[in-house]
């Protein structure tokens, strides 16, 4: 046998059953749940203008020459919508590495319906060896994803366990109006040619919010402000006095994603939700939300344990766990803080 090459990464595995991780005091076991039907998203008609992902060919055209390297060629990488979905998976690898190093446990990754057609609901097979569950709401509303009653019951039971945390991460809701003029204004505000005039996400996470009585909904797709004189994202408006978990310690900024959701508080019960951070909005580009007088949007929310729920609930956009739109030291520190949360 030839000598081992220390520079080689570990071998990659695929399409295998999850191996449960043993509990280690003080070391969180983190799992990611992509709440989409991969086949449904990947097979959307390319004749459809709205409410679909871009193909990877479209990504290459818009971001040329960023992906004109051999590993992204048709001989090696999927060129349709499926390739774009795989970009999301690849872009989460940095988070998985940082979280794995911080906890000593590999990050488990699940999909609601995967490439091979296997369905995996959130149940005890996921929750039994998970302390922090990240639910990424990148499912198109038109795909009709929603948590089943058994899933809600399993999550509620799991949240009674001490030191659990669910991160509910709805994505943006762009163009939620029949008014084409407003859709165009939203489009020009975020400025991303890969996002259509209407792109509505997160049916699954919305169903979780409703079932868990969380008075929040994801709205809009807002472009963050730039720091003065730069093309870097403006610092967060952080409320450190409320940040009992230290999530924002040494975290001045999140990701410069061009279309981030506002987590709007709705109804009469807003005291159960703590707004830990807001993001300044790019006011140089008109938008209905800023026309109404808003200059920031809610980007990090916390629901501390209450009643029979011993676990924490957080809300933050899923793109803050990827490197598709950058990956700063500040973002990596946020990942470490979440992984080590006590």
* 111 falls within a domain: yes
Instruction: Print the domain residue range for 278.
Output: 30-339
Domain assignment present for 210: yes
Decide the pairing of beta strands 132-137 and 165-170: parallel
Cβ atoms of 221 and 199 within 8 Å: the answer is yes
Strand residues in 179-295 grouped as ranges (E) = 199-200, 216-222, 237-238, 260-265, 274-280
Is 24 among the domain residues? no
Select from 67, 47, 65 the least CA-distant residue to 56: 67
b/e 277-294 (16+ beta carbons within 10 angstroms → b): bbbbbbeeeebebbeeeb
Comparing CA positions, the residue from 104, 102, 154 lying closest to residue 133 is 154
Helix (H, G, I), strand (E, B) or coil at 142: helix
Which pLDDT score, from 0 to 100, does residue 138 have?
98
pLDDT of residue 7: 78
Give domain status of residue 14, yes or no: no
Residue 227 lies in a domain: yes
Q: In whole angstroms, what is the distance from residue 245 CA to residue 14 CA?
A: 35
Asked if residue 19 is part of any domain, the answer here is: no
Element (H, E) at 87: helix 81-91
Q: What is the pLDDT of residue 1?
A: 59
* Assigned domain for 12 exists: no
17, part of any domain = no
- What's the confidence (pLDDT) of residue 2? 62
Distance in angstroms (rounded) separating the CA atoms of residues 159 and 166: 8
pLDDT at 12: 83
For the chain, residues with pLDDT lower than 70 are: 1-3, 270, 325-327
CA distances from 23 to 49, 96, 101, 134, 163 (A): 47, 18, 16, 18, 12
Closest to 49 measured CA to CA, from 179, 197, 189, 259: 197
Are 265 and 303 spatial neighbours (Cβ–Cβ below 8 Å)? no
Domain tally for the chain? Answer: 1
């Amino acid at each position: 046998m030839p000598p081992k090459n220390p520079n080689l990464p570990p071998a990659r595995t695929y399409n295998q059953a999850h191996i449960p991780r043993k509990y280690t005091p003080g070391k969180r076991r983190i799992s990611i749940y992509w709440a989409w039907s991969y086949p449904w998203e990947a097979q959307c008609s390319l004749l459809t203008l709205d409410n679909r992902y871009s193909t990877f060919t479209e990504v290459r055209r818009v971001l040329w020459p960023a992906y004109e390297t051999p590993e992204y060629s048709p001989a090696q990488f999927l060129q349709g919508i499926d390739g774009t979905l795989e970009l999301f998976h690849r872009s989460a690898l940095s988070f998985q590495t940082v979280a794995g190093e911080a906890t000593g446990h590999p990050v488990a990754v699940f999909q609601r319906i995967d490439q091979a057609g296997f369905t995996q609901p959130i149940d005890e097979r996921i929750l039994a060896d998970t302390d922090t569950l990240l639910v990424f709401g990148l499912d198109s509303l038109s795909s009709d994803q929603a948590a089943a009653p058994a899933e809600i019951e399993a999550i509620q039971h799991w949240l009674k366990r001490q030191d659990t945390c669910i991160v509910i991460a709805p994505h943006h809701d762009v163009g939620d109006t029949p008014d084409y003029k407003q859709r165009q204004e939203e489009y020009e505000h975020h400025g991303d040619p890969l996002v259509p005039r209407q792109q509505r996400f997160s049916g699954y996470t919305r169903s979780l919010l409703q079932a868990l009585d969380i008075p929040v909904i994801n709205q809009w797709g807002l472009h963050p402000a730039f720091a003065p004189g730069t093309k870097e994202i403006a610092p967060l408006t952080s409320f450190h006095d409320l940040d009992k978990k230290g999530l924002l310690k040494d975290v001045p900024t999140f990701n410069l994603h061009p279309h981030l959701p506002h987590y709007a508080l709705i109804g009469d019960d807003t005291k159960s939700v703590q707004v830990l951070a807001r993001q300044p909005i790019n006011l140089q580009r008109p938008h209905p939300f800023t026309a109404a007088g808003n200059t920031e949007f809610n980007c990090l929310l916390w629901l501390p344990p209450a009643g029979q729920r011993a676990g924490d609930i957080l809300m933050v956009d899923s793109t803050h766990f990827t490197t598709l739109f950058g990956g700063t030291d500040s973002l990596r520190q946020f990942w470490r803080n979440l992984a080590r949360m006590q």
